[in-house]
């Protein structure tokens, strides 16, 4: 892009969007949304904002005060955003986590959860077995886990083990989900590598932030997973996460969170702009950025 084009690409009509998180440097959302604006010629810009937990309310009110039209939230803000909203969409309310906020012209903030849609669409793109009869292990019990769990249950999953470092969080989430889906058996478990039920686990999903940082290793032994086991990590950067690398060594199929990122982002994009994200083109460009 020439200097002139660059200088004129932002003007008094440019609309601001962004993503808040801690950490945030790993996020591909800015690239994804800005690629889509460029593709469609929309005068919007999407920025990453490093917001620490203690600054969440200030950041949210600040974004509203400067006229941002919306934002995404990632680790660790998804649950804490709920009480800051003026309205919460039923799906986000049910999940207890907001990842997408629309700020109206009147400053009212509407919270949505597009993670469930993103996860379901991405899982269905890469994993074809019916979920009803499978034994599934979900690692983590934070905001992202809520979306994943709800997606699995909506897709018909009936047997889920929910494993978390803080056991009480797993217990609480399992209890809430069981109330919503009484037919499903959701068992909370302590994070103890020796007692995890991996021998019968056909689908293992990591929703924790372990793997985001260089040097993170998942304290899990995947060698007892069945040969047809599938390992899904909702992390997408690195493209091959430590969990995926360990799974591949065992000959297991794997998928990262890029598909989920794109599909949740596409839904958020539509909420903000009213038009569809050009998903295929954006995905191809993101893959070239990542590789």
27 binding ligand ATR? (CB under 6 A): no
Closest to ligand ATR by CB, 35 vs 201, is: 201
Q: Residue 279: count other Cβ atoms within 10 Å of its Cβ.
A: 17
Instruction: Report in angstroms how near the CB of residue 141 gets to ligand ATR at its nearest.
Output: 5
Stretch that binds ligand ATR, among 31-39, 137-145, 176-184, 280-288 (CB under 6 A): 137-145
| Number of residues this chain uses to bind ligand ATR (CB under 6 A) | 18
Q: Which residue number is nearest to ligand ATR in terms of Cβ?
A: 142
Closest to ligand ATR by CB, 15 vs 79, is: 79
H-state helical runs in 158-240 = 167-180
* CB 265 within 8 Å of CB 277: yes
Among 26, 45, 158, 165, binds ligand ATR (CB under 6 A): 165
Helices (H) and strands (E) in the chain, counts: 10, 12
Gap between the Cα atoms of 126 and 254, Å rounded? 9
Looking only at residues 179 through 238 of this chain, which bind ligand ATR when binding is defined by CB under 6 A? 208-210
Closest to ligand ATR by CB, 210 vs 286, is: 210
Gap between the Cα atoms of 145 and 212, Å rounded? 16
Q: Strand 70-73 and strand 87-88: pairing? A: unpaired
84, 107, 138 from 206: Cα distances, Å = 28, 36, 6
Among 32, 101, 116, 144, binds ligand ATR (CB under 6 A): 144
Closest to ligand ATR by CB, 165 vs 285, is: 165
* CB 11 within 8 Å of CB 43: yes
Closest to ligand ATR by CB, 24 vs 262, is: 24
Closest to ligand ATR by CB, 70 vs 188, is: 188
143 binding ligand ATR? (CB under 6 A): yes
51 binding ligand ATR? (CB under 6 A): no
Looking only at residues 56 through 115 of this chain, which bind ligand ATR when binding is defined by CB under 6 A? 74-76, 78-79
Task: Tokens for 12, please give them.
Answer: 């008094």
* CB 33 within 8 Å of CB 262: no
Instruction: Report in angstroms how near the CB of residue 163 gets to ligand ATR at its nearest.
Output: 9
Beta strands in the chain (DSSP E): 15-21, 44-50, 70-73, 87-88, 100-103, 109-112, 135-139, 159-164, 185-190, 203-206, 230-233, 253-255
Stretch that binds ligand ATR, among 28-36, 60-68, 161-169, 263-271 (CB under 6 A): 161-169
Catalytic (active-site) positions: 78
Gap between the Cα atoms of 113 and 116, Å rounded? 7
**Residues binding ligand ATR (CB under 6 A):** 74-76, 78-79, 140-145, 164-166, 169, 208-210
């Amino acid at each position: 892009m020439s200097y002139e084009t660059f200088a004129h690409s932002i003007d008094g009509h440019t609309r601001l969007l962004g993503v808040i998180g801690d950490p945030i440097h790993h996020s591909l959302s800015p690239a994804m949304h800005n690629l889509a604006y460029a593709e469609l010629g929309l005068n919007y810009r999407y920025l990453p904002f490093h917001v620490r937990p203690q600054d969440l309310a200030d950041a949210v009110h600040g974004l509203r005060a400067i006229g941002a039209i919306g934002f995404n939230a990632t680790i660790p803000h998804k649950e804490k955003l709920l009480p800051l909203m003026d309205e919460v969409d039923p799906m986000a309310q049910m999940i207890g986590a907001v990842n997408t906020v629309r700020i109206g012209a009147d400053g009212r903030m509407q919270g949505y959860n597009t993670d469930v849609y993103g996860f379901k669409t991405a899982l269905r793109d890469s994993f074809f077995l019916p979920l009803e009869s499978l034994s599934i292990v979900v690692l983590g019990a934070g905001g992202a886990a809520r979306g994943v769990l709800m997606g699995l249950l909506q897709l018909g999953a009936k047997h889920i083990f929910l494993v978390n470092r803080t056991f009480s969080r797993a217990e609480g989430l399992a209890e809430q989900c069981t109330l919503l889906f009484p037919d499903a058996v959701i068992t909370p478990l302590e994070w103890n590598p020796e007692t995890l039920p991996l021998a019968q686990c056909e689908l293992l999903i990591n929703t924790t932030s372990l793997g985001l940082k260089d040097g993170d290793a998942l304290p899990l032994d995947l060698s007892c997973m069945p040969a047809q086991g599938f390992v899904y990590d909702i992390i997408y950067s690195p493209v091959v996460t430590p969990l995926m690398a360990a799974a591949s060594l065992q000959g297991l199929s794997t998928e990262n969170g890029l598909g989920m990122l794109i599909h949740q982002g596409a839904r958020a994009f539509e909420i903000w702009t009213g038009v569809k994200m050009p998903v295929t083109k954006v995905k191809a460009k993101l893959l070239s950025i990542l590789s």
